[in-house]
Structure 1
Amino acid sequence: MSTETISKSESTAVVNNLKTLLADSYALMGQTHVAHWNVEGPAFFQLHTAFQTQYEELFEAVDEIAERLRALDVLSPGGLRTLADMSSISEIGIEQIPAKDYVAHLIESHEIVVSAAKAVRDSAGSVEDLETQDLAIGRIQTHEKTLWMLKSFLKNL
């Protein structure tokens, strides 16, 4: 898709949804990093390692999403306050919480990101922006796999 092939009004939904996905993904990356730093307990090593893998993957994803906005000739939003204001993901406090509560918070946050990615997928599909749609589908697959893993951790606790 080039910006010449769709109207400004058609691309607005794609761009707005990409910006939301960017903000939510950035917030999730930050929350995953907090969980990585502060998790304790018998599953410490397992979760510490898993959270690191997740926030590193999210760092790459945030860059890809921001660069897709640039490919659409739109400036990517940035800055902690700006992105936090744009995201609907809540922050974990800095008080110590059980490992299962970090996992539960990240499950909720991943579900928000999946919803944002589906909005991108659907809006991009409606204007035949297959490149953006492909990016969104990849994000959905990654987050759904992570959700499966996080939910599996909580089973029988």
Structure 2
Amino acid sequence: MKLNIGISEKGRKSVSAVLAQLLADEVALYIATRGAHWNVVGPNFGPLHSFFESQYEALDDILDDVAERIRALGATAPASVGAYAKAKSIDDGAGSEASAAKMIESLLKAHEAIIRNLRKYEDVADDAEDAGSEDFFVSLIEQHEKMAWMLRAHLQ
């Protein structure tokens, strides 16, 4: 059945495209955060291990929401490692041998990159007259800003 939600097909396609880009970046950040959780060492291991867990759990919810928003606009959510690797725009992270501080710094940079991208994506949704996606992007900006603040606090 044809989708009739008050957004043009062109608009839905443009918003779905940036949502797919966002999904790839969110997956990359999720994996990097999981890696930090698994591989962090040092005197603050316990608190950082738990902290990274809270962050990857929040990212898991975001992943699901982004994929479901893509589906709500009538597109198919990318669902392969190859598609994510090809589409992602953020770095892979500090790596499994990095210090805790380097892991935190790398995750912070990834969140900040996603925040900058989300601000651009909000404009795409506005151009498409897609108020739902605009609100969704604003909500994600707020969530990523909070996670970035928490990471930044560990570096001060």
| TM-score, scaled to structure 1 | 0.90
Q: Distance in 1 between matches of 2:90 and 2:58?
A: 18
Match of 2:67 in 1: 66
Match of 1:109 in 2: 110
- Contact 2:36 / 2:96 at 8 angstroms: preserved in 1? no
Deviation readout 1:13-55 (Å, 9 max, x if unpaired):
2111111111101110000000000011122112111110111
Matches within 5 A, 1:48-127: 48-92=49-93, 94-127=95-128
Q: Which amino acid aligns with 2:82?
A: R
Q: Distance in 1 between matches of 2:83 and 2:30?
A: 15
C-alpha spacing 1:152/1:93, structure 2 compared with 1 (3 Å): closer
Q: Which amino acid aligns with 1:61?
A: I
Q: Distance in 2 between matches of 1:65 and 1:3?
A: 20
Identity of aligned residues (%): 35
Query: What CA RMSD, in Å, does the superposition of the two structures yield over aligned residues?
Result: 1.6
Q: Distance in 2 between matches of 1:97 and 1:24?
A: 21
Q: Distance in 2 between matches of 1:145 and 1:31?
A: 18
Deviation readout 1:47-94 (Å, 9 max, x if unpaired):
111110111111111111101111101000011121121101222365
Unaligned residue ranges in structure 2 (runs of 5+): none
Q: Which runs of 4+ in 1 moved over 6 A?
A: none
Equivalent pairs, count: 154
- Contact 1:3 / 1:72 at 8 angstroms: preserved in 2? no
3-state secondary structure, aligned to 1:131: helix
Q: Distance in 1 between matches of 2:141 and 2:94?
A: 27
Match of 1:141 in 2: 142
Unaligned residue ranges in structure 1 (runs of 5+): none
